[in-house]
């Protein structure tokens, strides 16, 4: 019960890693609010977590996020734990990259996440913790990964900036960077058929020294560690949860 009585917000908590984080935080005593763009999955996710509240909010819509945080401030009085997990995927070779696609990915994966952290920071006090979901894709060459990888690389830098500027306020900011993980995001790559996804999945497994995909619960365990008092002397860290892919593979 590391989070007993804590006020937790999980952005992108309606599926995959975010849902696993929301479930784990609630199991350890947190009052959880989760967000996502799809009202159906948001409602289903919240219904399956005791005491959780779900909000259909697009992290790229800054006005909607402002309204969401105002509601959190009015009802909860602040935030103790923020998990920034909202994101979209997709692959496009550099010679096929279109500005609209670039902008759509960065509006969520970088711009939206940065301002979500900024707005939440105003509601956090000493002892607060922010954990951001990055990706090993922000650190390595992966064919077709320029838009996604650049956004995650930018988010890693943003995490360090927030950590540096929030440390005097007693707020810790860290990141987990997963490798290949079994999440619905894998099946939401624009232009990819299920056969393409299956082939991509096999390529991912082949690149992982542990020879398997990760599970959302494994990433959530790392997130909860960084958000907990057990990591009280850790800030600006980027923890790879990738089965050794980046450093061994």
- pTM for this structure? 0.94
Long-range contacts formed by 203-208: CB under 8 A, 24+ apart: 204/179, 204/180, 205/180, 207/180, 207/245, 207/249, 208/179, 208/180, 208/242, 208/243, 208/244, 208/245, 208/249
Domains and CATH numbers, the chain: 7-241 (3.40.50.720)
pLDDT at position 200 over 90: no
Give Cβ neighbours of residue 149 (< 8 Å, ≥ 6 apart).
135, 137, 138, 140, 142
pLDDT at position 189 over 80: no
Q: What is the pLDDT of residue 152?
A: 98
Residue 98 is encoded by which pair of tokens? 């279109």
Q: Lowest-confidence range among 35-39, 198-202, 217-221?
A: 198-202
Q: Catalytic one among 69, 101, 148, 166?
A: 148
pLDDT at position 186 over 80: no
pLDDT at position 34 over 90: yes
Whether the CB-CB separation of 86 and 57 falls below 8 Å is answered with no
Length of the chain: 249
Whether the CB-CB separation of 79 and 6 falls below 8 Å is answered with no
**Rounded distance, CA 83 to CA 124, Å?**
13
Q: What is the pLDDT of residue 100?
A: 96
State the average pLDDT over residues 239-248. Answer: 95
End-to-end Cα separation, the chain, in angstroms: 36
**Rounded distance, CA 126 to CA 150, Å?**
32
Is residue 148 part of the annotated active site? The answer reads yes
Q: What is the pLDDT of residue 190?
A: 65
> Residue 239 — pLDDT band, cuts 50, 70, 90?
very high
Q: What is the pLDDT of residue 169?
A: 98
Residue-wise pLDDT for 98-144, tens only, equals: 999 999 999 999 999 999 999 999 999 999 999 999 999 999 999 99
Give Cβ neighbours of residue 175 (< 8 Å, ≥ 6 apart).
131, 132, 133, 134, 155, 156, 159, 237, 238, 239
Q: What is the pLDDT of residue 166?
A: 98
CA distance readout (Å), 43 to 19, 35, 68, 98, 237: 12, 9, 16, 34, 33
**Rounded distance, CA 193 to CA 195, Å?**
5
Residue-wise pLDDT for 36-73, tens only, equals: 999 999 999 999 999 999 999 999 999 999 999 999 99
Closest by Cα among 59, 42, 43 to 120: 59
């Amino acid at each position: 019960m590391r989070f007993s009585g804590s006020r937790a917000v999980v952005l992108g908590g309606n599926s995959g890693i975010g849902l696993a984080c929301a479930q784990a935080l609630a199991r350890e005593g947190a009052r959880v609010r989760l967000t996502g763009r799809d009202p159906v999955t948001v409602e289903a996710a919240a219904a399956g977590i005791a005491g959780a509240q779900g909000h259909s909010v697009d992290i790229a819509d800054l006005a909607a996020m402002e309204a969401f945080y105002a509601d959190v401030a009015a009802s909860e009085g602040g935030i103790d734990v923020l998990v920034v997990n909202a994101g979209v995927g997709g692959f496009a070779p550099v010679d096929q990259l279109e500005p609209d696609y670039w902008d759509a990915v960065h509006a969520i994966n970088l711009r939206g996440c940065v301002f979500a952290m900024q707005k939440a920071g105003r509601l956090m006090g000493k002892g607060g913790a922010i954990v951001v979901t990055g990706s090993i894709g922000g650190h390595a060459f992966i064919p077709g990964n320029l838009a996604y990888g650049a956004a995650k690389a930018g988010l890693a830098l943003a995490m360090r900036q927030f950590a540096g500027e929030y440390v005097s306020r007693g707020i810790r900011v860290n990141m987990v960077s997963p490798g290949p993980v079994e999440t619905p995001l894998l099946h939401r790559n624009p232009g990819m058929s299920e056969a393409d996804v299956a082939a991509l999945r096999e390529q991912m497994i082949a690149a992982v020294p542990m020879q398997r995909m990760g599970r959302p619960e494994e990433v959530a365990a790392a997130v909860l560690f960084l958000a907990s008092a057990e990591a009280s002397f850790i800030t600006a860290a980027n923890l790879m949860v990738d089965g050794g892919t980046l450093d061994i593979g």
